Amino acid sequence: MSHYPTIRHRRLRRDEFSRRLVRENVLTCNDLIQPLFVFEGSGDFESIPTMPGVQRIGESVIVEKIGHLKSLQIPAVALFPVVPEKHKTFGAEAAWNPEGLIPRVVRSIRQAYPDYGIITDVALDPYTTHGQDGLIDDTGYVMNDETLDALVLQALTHASAGAQMIAPSDMMDGRIGAIRNALELNGYTNTRILAYAVKYASAFFNPFREAVGSAKGLGSSNKTSYQIDPANTNEALREVELDLAEGADIVMVKPGMPYLDVIQRVKKQFKVPVFAYQVSGEYSMLAAASDNGWLDRKAVVIEALVGFKRAGADAILTYFAEEVAEWIQDKKFLP
C-alpha cells in the first residue's frame, strides 16, 4: 500500500528554509586541507599545464601563501616537493636531508605561524631518479623492508623540522609501525600519522606526477606491485586494520570520488577519523569541463565535496580548498 499522498517528500523541498533545516551534511572550512606543490629557489609561481588553475609555489613566497590560507580558516596544508633533477638519486638520499626543501619550508612556516597545521608526505618518489615510492632492486621491483629504513629517516627529518602530522603515501607493508616506533623513540610522541592506508593503483594520479616532476622518471613503469587493485575493497579494509594497529591516528582513502563506497565501509567498520583525497585527476576533470563551459565549476565542486562528507569523510584534501574557502567567506555558498 502506498502512503502517498500522506507522505509527500517534496513538501520539505518546497522552500529554501526547510531544505536548509533538514540538510544532513555540510561542508565547512574545517573539512579542507590544501595540497601545495613547493619548488626551491627564488621563483614565485609556476603554472601546471595538466592542472589548470593550480600553481607550484616558490619557497620564497610560501609563508605568504600560508598566511592567506590561514586567514581563510583552512586548518592545514599538505606539502609536496618539486625536486630538481640534480637532487634526484637512485637511493633518494635527498629525502632525509635536514637542509632539504621540505624541512626548510616547514621551519619557515612554523616560525611565521607556529600553530598552523603542516602535513608532509612520506614517500620517495619525488627524490628517486626512477620515480618509484621506494627503493628498487636491479629488476625494478620496489623492495619493502629496505625502503622502510629510508622512510623512517624521512619521517624523522620532517618531524624534527616541525611537521605536526606526517603522511606516509608509499604503501610499503609495516611502514606505519616502523615510523611510529621511531617517532616514539625520538621523543616525537605527539606527531600525528595520517596513513594513506587505502591508496589505489590509480590512473587519476597522472596530473600530480606532471606537477611534481616524477612522471618522467617513472616512464612506462607503474605502481601496481604496492598500490591496491581498484577492484578490491576487502583488501582495503585489511590495510586500514593493520595501519591502525601499527599506530596510525587517521586513515585516508585515495583517490576520492571513484571510491566513495570504500570511505563509507572504512568509516562504518572502524569509526576512526577518515580523510579522503580528491586527487589531481579529479581536479583536472572538473576544472577542464568547467573551463569548457560544460559544467558549472562552483556547483560541481561543492557537490563532489559534500559527497565525501556524506560518504563519511571527516576532512578532504582538495586542490579546490582555497577557492571553496573563499566562496564560504564571500557567502557565495552557504554551508
Cβ 85 to ligand PBG shortest distance, Å: 18
311 binds ligand PBG, rule: CB under 6 A: no
Shortest spacing between CB 248 and ligand PBG, in angstroms: 16
Closer to ligand PBG by Cβ: residue 285 or 300: 285
Helix (H, G, I), strand (E, B) or coil at 76: strand
Nearer of residues 167 and 240 to ligand PBG, judged by Cβ:
167
Calpha distance 223→169 (Å, rounded): 12
Query: Closest separation between CB of residue 232 and ligand PBG, Å?
Result: 17
Assess 125 for contact with ligand PBG (CB under 6 A): yes
DSSP sequence for 151-188 = HHHHHHHHHHHT-SEEEE-S--TTHHHHHHHHHHHTT-
C-alpha 89, offset from chain centre:
25
Residue 185's closest CA among 225, 156, 222, 148?
156
Distance, in Å, from the CA atom of 67 to the CA atom of 7, rounded to the nearest integer, reads: 50
Binding to ligand PBG in span 221-260, by CB under 6 A:
223
Q: If DSSP states are collapsed to H, E and C, what string results for 267-312?
A: HHHHCCCEEEEECHHHHHHHHHHHHCCCCCHHHHHHHHHHHHHHHC
Choice from 56, 130, 209, 267 touching ligand PBG (CB under 6 A):
209
Q: Which of 205, 259, 275, 308 binds ligand PBG (CB under 6 A)?
A: 205
State yes or no: residue 322 binds ligand PBG (CB under 6 A).
no
Q: Report which of 121, 120, 65, 81 is spatially closest to residue 321, judged by C-alpha positions.
A: 65
Radius of gyration of the chain (CA): 20
Which of 59/121 has CB closer to ligand PBG?
121
Establish whether 254 is a catalytic residue: yes
The torsion defined by the Cα of 205, 67, 95 and 134, in degrees rounded to 10, comes to: -20
Among 101, 123, 253, 262, binds ligand PBG (CB under 6 A): 123
CA–CA separation, 48 vs 56, rounded Å? 7
Nearer residue to ligand PBG within complex by CB, 60 or 210: 210
Which one is catalytic: 65, 88, 223, 254?
254
Selected from 34, 120, 164, 280, the binder of ligand PBG by CB under 6 A is: 280
Question: Residue 269 carries which side chain, given as an amino acid letter?
Answer: Q
Complex with ligand PBG: residue 192 or 335, whichever CB lies closer: 192
Pick from 279, 286, 287, 306 the residue near ligand PBG by CB under 6 A: 279
Helix (H, G, I), strand (E, B) or coil at 248: coil
Exactly one of 59, 133, 243, 246 binds ligand PBG (CB under 6 A); that residue is: 133
Active-site option among 199, 223, 267, 309: 199
34, 147, 154, 169: which one contacts ligand PBG (CB under 6 A)?
169
Choose between 121 and 246: whose C-beta lies nearer to ligand PBG.
121
Name the minimum Å distance from CB 115 to ligand PBG: 25
Q: Is 220 left (phi over 0), alpha (psi -120 to 50) or beta?
A: alpha
> Is residue 34 involved in binding ligand PBG (CB under 6 A)?
no
Whichever of 143 and 293 has its CB closer to ligand PBG, that residue is 143
Q: Give the integer Cα–Cα distance in Å for 203 and 200.
A: 9
Nearest to 134 by CA among 119, 153, 148: 148
- Annotated catalytic residues are 199, 254
Binding site for ligand PBG (CB under 6 A): 121, 123, 125, 133, 169-170, 205, 208-209, 223, 279-280
